Structure 1
Amino acid sequence: MTQDNVPVLTIDGPSGSGKGTITRLVAQRLGWHYLDSGALYRAVGIAAGWADLDLSDASALVRCTFDTDIDFQEDHGGEPRIIVNGLDATDELRTETAGAAASAIAAIPEVRAALRDRQRAYRRPPGLVADGRDMGTVIFPDAAYKVFLTASAEERAERRYKQLSEKGVSVTLPGLLREILARDARDANRAVAPLRPADDAVRIDTTGLPIDAVVARVLALMPAR
């Protein structure tokens, strides 16, 4: 099987739509590989922060993209850990600061181009489930299966608030809602690869839906195995 013939399921959507959790669970059920594309952008953003780089300096960020070593691992409980330049950056990657940095650098065409081949390299047998914002429109436009998840901004903020509060991170719900709305606007209006559903994507609104129900809806789109 050549790389181009490896089946791909893309799951795109805005922050807090549940795509990360859904993608991992669907990949586990299918026995396919998993790509968290957002973690790549967050990792570059963190590495840039560690190096005190200006997030508006495109050439410096491109060099940082090529120089940053990113490794996906699992802990003893099977939970994903992201190692950036030899350091476990998993918790830092999930902060709103890292998300804002990722959104900022994702708007730079040269950075997106530098990460394109890196993302496509995850396409390996028996298949790939890819989570992001432009997986179905830019990175894997030929994917046979495409999903676009969404949810109300209020519910996405509440999910994020619960997630961060459980980790002991001090945040406010109104603050998270403002950040989510601002990020939605940046992602939807950027000139390169704006956040939007692929024309052939199946849209699923996850507002009020339990995780198991969303996973079942996604798996129902796949051919019988």
Structure 2
Amino acid sequence: MIHFLFGIDPWFIFYTPYTPSFNRCDFISGRDIGLPFSGLVYCFPSVANYLGGDIISGLLTAQIHKGSELSLYMDIGTNGEMVLGNNEFMIRVAGEAGTALEGGISKQGMRASRGAVDSVRIVNNEMIITTIQNAKPIGICGSGIVDLLAEMLLEGWIDYSDRFVPGRSERIVLREGEYVVIYAWENESGSSEELLFSQTDILSFMDTKAAANTK
């Protein structure tokens, strides 16, 4: 983002060894970079891909590099970054995070806004959903995905390998060669189409969760 702000080619950061074009920023007039004021602007530098100025500023504030006690600093957003260390060493890891929480791993996933399925329950083998602002469902957000998978596992709709169990519910059907669960029928959805969560969506969610848990 700092590259774009200063009009500098960012492509170096996308290739090995993933280093920025610069890692030191001086104070600069806002008007010199297209901002509508003449005050001074300072941007914290990035060190590498997924180790940007946001986490650098956080580390300086937390000052874990000055203490002897082992500390963990986490910055969870669209990506998740973690830095572990003290005054002797610091190591960092990064990976995808927010996409799973915002429903981005599903074709019909969405952020937590109007019409997003935000909770799911299965009672007596019947699915009950709620949506944000009680609108007709148009997709599913992260909290809805977590509920959906947990409830399906508890009710035996999926097994411990995250696979659908056909026959457990009329909502588990084949679509385009793979099993899906329909969490809103056509006449229930705000988009007038079936809202589905597929086997591929489940595996994508589990891959993302595993990546976050093993950073």
TM-score (norm 2): 0.24
Q: Which has the higher contact order (CA 8 A, sep 6+)?
A: 1
* Richer in strand (by share): 2
The structure whose Rg is larger is 2
* Richer in helix (by share): 1
TM-score (norm 1): 0.23
